[in-house]
């Protein structure tokens, strides 16, 4: 029997779930390493036997039940409840602005300009979005410039 085979049997052996076969006992008598390992396993198991899970506070169940009743008694607030959370409200407002600007882009050019003139402080999310929207043509020309330089490189080095 090899050491790593013994090692696999050790947890059960140390916990007393399986008995040591004569072959195993032979190995343990001749192999100091495995003998020491089994001792460590036995000590660990003994320690685990002593260990007791701490009891929860006697008031835990009572308080939990009271809390559950409290929550169940609260009226359902629906989506208004979520709006009260600032981060979600911010995200919702941003989605609303995006939605409106997408809708407006589909309309006639006059209404598109109207959206751009709505006052927005530069540096805010809304201001940035409007700047991006307003300079849409300019930014798309950057791509054209990139394409041109690539084409020129290709022409220079065929």
- Is residue 34 part of the contact set for Zn ion (CB under 5 A)? yes
Q: Which alpha helices (DSSP H) does the chain contain, by range?
A: 3-15, 22-30, 32-50, 60-73, 79-83, 86-106, 109-117, 125-134, 136-156
Contact region with Zn ion (CB under 5 A), list: 12-20, 25-33, 51-59, 106-114: 25-33
- Is residue 3 part of the contact set for Zn ion (CB under 5 A)? yes
In 3D, which of 42, 40, 22, 41 has the Cα closest to residue 30? 22
User: CB 24 → Zn ion: shortest distance, Å?
Assistant: 10
Phi/psi region, residue 123 (left: phi>0; alpha: psi -120 to 50; beta: rest), is: left
Between residues 20 and 31, which has the closer beta carbon with respect to Zn ion? 31
- Is residue 9 part of the contact set for Zn ion (CB under 5 A)? no
Between residues 28 and 126, which has the closer beta carbon with respect to Zn ion? 28
Contact region with Zn ion (CB under 5 A), list: 26-34, 78-86, 101-109, 125-133: 26-34
Q: Can you tell me the distance from the alpha carbon of 40 to that of 10, in angstroms, rounded to the nearest whole number?
A: 10
Contacts with Zn ion by CB under 5 A lie at 3, 31, 34
């Amino acid at each position: 029997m090899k050491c790593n085979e013994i090692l696999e049997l050790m947890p059960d052996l140390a916990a007393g779930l399986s008995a040591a076969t004569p072959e195993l006992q032979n190995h343990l008598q001749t192999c100091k390493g495995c003998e020491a390992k089994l001792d460590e396993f036995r000590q660990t198991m003994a320690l685990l036997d002593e260990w007791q899970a701490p009891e929860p506070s006697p008031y835990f169940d009572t308080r939990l039940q009271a809390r559950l009743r409290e929550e169940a008694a609260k009226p359902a607030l629906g989506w208004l409840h979520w709006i009260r959370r600032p981060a979600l409200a911010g995200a919702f407002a941003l989605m609303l602005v995006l939605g409106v600007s997408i809708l407006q882009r589909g309309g006639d050019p006059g209404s598109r300009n109207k959206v751009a003139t709505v006052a927005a402080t530069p540096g805010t999310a809304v201001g940035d979005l409007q700047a991006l929207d307003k300079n849409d043509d300019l930014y798309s020309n950057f791509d054209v410039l990139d394409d041109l330089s690539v084409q020129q490189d290709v022409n220079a080095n065929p």
